[in-house]
């Protein structure tokens, strides 16, 4: 457990810098960008999330899975890494050419009033060069080299931050500055990756390894698309049914909720290699308890974010962004449930026969369809809060569905009911922030309630927490 916590801490802190840059820069960006410009960045980012699935072909999952099958044969591991990198970049170039020439058919319908040039062009530059660096980072994760992963993430963050501050504050490039800074950073780290892989990779395609990798990863593509749809389709629908400015406001609120996602995904990055090792050694007993306590940890963080985001937004953003706090509790706990999803899904990913990979997309696609449908129904009636509620409901349905099937692939018995009910209980508590208190210091009251919840949580799970510390 100590290695999971150590690696998770590295992944979480560095991912907060890399992926959470928009959150850290909210006071700056909201001062220099209108809600419309913020919306432009959000729409391009969402489209890039979808494109990233096709560019990677879910081969990152193959790297994670087959490294442990090939471990011990260094030459085969090098060929695995080299095959994936060579194929991914070649396929990325091919897709970029198709999308560039056919953007009016493939991209423009989703952009609405966001211009393809220069905004989407800059987004496409990022998505062309990023997958190779992403694969490099995955290789470090599967080897559990969290420190190297963290250093790379920090350098990426620092480079992007410098370029962004220059382009937005000094050059006043607005949305172009944000998207252009990310493009430049991705180009630099593409080159950096090629120099750093060195002796750990054999460039070129080993077709037997490629066939095996694609056979494993291809069934995951619908699952990945469904996962992205559930997470970001709301912004495209808001852009279509409301305005790009409302996308900007919603995106600010979502950025607070993403804190939970970054923590949960960082833990998952550390948990997956540890899980694979434990299962291969037949050590199943500790897994359920650790998963439950991590969900409780996510809930505590999500409750804090939900309770205090209103005051933070009012203190660091212009008035035009202040209503964004209303979506934060729903988004935060949707991502807590996504953390539960990670634990329920990992047994299906472990199934090398591919049966789990075929079942998982069925569940995630259903969740994505539900999410999109609820967004179309609820956004016209309830605005951006409707989008947040739709996300929470679809995540809940996803987790409940997986809780019934995960143990058909591995003999692991999670505390399924608690991993679903605990987030819902904390979510209900978070709704206190919507209440009107007839007192001068509402913040003080929320601090007291939050501390009380922390105290009661510790009392209730004291034995488990102490056991984890000793592990």
pLDDT over 80 at 24, yes or no? no
State how far the Cα of 17 lies from the Cα of 415, in Å rounded to an integer.
32
State how far the Cα of 295 lies from the Cα of 289, in Å rounded to an integer.
10
Do residues 136 and 193 lie in contact, with contact meaning Cβ atoms separated by under 8 Å? yes
305: Cβ contacts below 8 Å, ≥ 6 apart: 256, 257, 259, 260, 328, 332
pLDDT over 70 at 171, yes or no? yes
Residue tagged 């590295």 (tokens): 10
Supply 90's token pair. Answer: 């070649």
pLDDT over 90 at 141, yes or no? no
State how far the Cα of 68 lies from the Cα of 351, in Å rounded to an integer.
13
State how far the Cα of 105 lies from the Cα of 336, in Å rounded to an integer.
36
Supply 47's token pair. Answer: 């489209």
State how far the Cα of 460 lies from the Cα of 63, in Å rounded to an integer.
40
Do residues 239 and 311 lie in contact, with contact meaning Cβ atoms separated by under 8 Å? no
Q: How confident is the model at residue 288 (pLDDT cuts 50, 70, 90)?
A: confident
Q: How confident is the model at residue 227 (pLDDT cuts 50, 70, 90)?
A: confident
The better pLDDT of the pair 65, 447 is held by 447
DSSP-based three-state secondary structure for 218: coil
Supply 41's token pair. Answer: 């960045």
Mean pLDDT of 245-255: 91
Q: How confident is the model at residue 406 (pLDDT cuts 50, 70, 90)?
A: confident
Question: pLDDT of 188-204, one tens digit each?
Answer: 999 999 888 877 788 88
From the list 168, 167, 176, 96, the residue with the least C-alpha distance to 131 is 96
pLDDT the model gives residue 52: 92
CA atoms within 13 A on the CB side of 30: 25
DSSP-based three-state secondary structure for 174: coil
pLDDT over 70 at 3, yes or no? no
Sign of CA dihedral 438, 444, 446, 451: negative
């Amino acid at each position: 457990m100590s290695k999971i916590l150590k690696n998770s801490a590295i992944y979480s802190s560095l991912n907060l810098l890399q992926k959470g840059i928009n959150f850290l820069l909210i006071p700056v960006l909201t001062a220099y960008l209108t809600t419309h410009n913020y919306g432009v960045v959000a729409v391009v980012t969402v489209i890039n999330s979808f494109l990233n699935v096709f560019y990677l072909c879910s081969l990152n999952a193959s790297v994670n899975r087959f490294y442990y099958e090939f471990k011990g044969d260094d030459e085969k591991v090098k060929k695995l890494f080299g095959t994936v990198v060579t194929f991914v970049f070649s396929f990325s170039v091919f897709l970029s050419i198709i999308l560039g020439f056919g953007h009016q058919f493939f991209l423009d319908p989703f952009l609405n009033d966001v211009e393809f040039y220069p905004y989407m062009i800059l987004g496409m530059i990022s998505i062309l060069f990023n997958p190779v660096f992403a694969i490099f980072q995955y290789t470090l994760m599967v080897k559990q080299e969290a420190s190297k992963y963290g250093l790379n993430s920090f350098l990426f963050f620092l480079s992007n931050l410098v370029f962004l501050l220059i382009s937005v504050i000094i050059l006043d490039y607005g949305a172009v500055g944000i998207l252009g800074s990310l493009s430049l950073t991705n180009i630099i780290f593409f080159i950096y990756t090629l120099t750093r892989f060195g002796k750990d990779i054999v460039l070129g395609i080993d077709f037997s390894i490629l066939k095996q990798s694609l056979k494993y990863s291809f069934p995951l593509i619908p699952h990945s698309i469904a996962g992205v749809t559930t997470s970001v389709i709301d912004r495209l629908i808001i852009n279509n049914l409301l305005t790009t400015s409302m996308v900007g406001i919603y995106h600010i609120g979502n950025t607070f909720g993403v804190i939970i996602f970054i923590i949960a995904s960082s833990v998952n990055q550390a948990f997956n290699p540890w899980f694979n090792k434990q299962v291969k050694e037949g050590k199943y007993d500790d897994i359920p308890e650790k998963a439950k306590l991590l969900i409780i940890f996510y809930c505590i963080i999500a409750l804090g974010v939900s309770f205090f985001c209103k005051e933070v937004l009012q203190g660091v953003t212009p008035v035009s962004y202040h209503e964004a706090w209303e979506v934060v509790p729903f988004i935060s706990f949707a991502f807590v449930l996504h953390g539960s999803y990670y634990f329920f899904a990992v047994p299906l990913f472990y199934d090398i026969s591919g049966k789990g990979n075929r079942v998982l997309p069925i569940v995630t696609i259903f969740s994505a369809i539900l999410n999109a449908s609820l967004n179309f129904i609820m956004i016209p009636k309830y605005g951006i809060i409707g989008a947040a509620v739709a996300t929470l409901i679809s995540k809940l349905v996803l987790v409940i569905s997986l809780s019934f099937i995960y143990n058909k692939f591995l003999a692991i018995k999670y505390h399924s009911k608690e991993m679903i009910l605990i987030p819902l209980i904390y979510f209900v508590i978070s709704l206190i922030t919507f209440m009107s208190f007839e007192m001068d210091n509402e913040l003080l009251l929320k601090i007291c309630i939050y501390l009380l919840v922390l105290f009661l949580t510790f009392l209730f799970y004291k034995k488990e927490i102490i056991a984890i510390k000793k592990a």
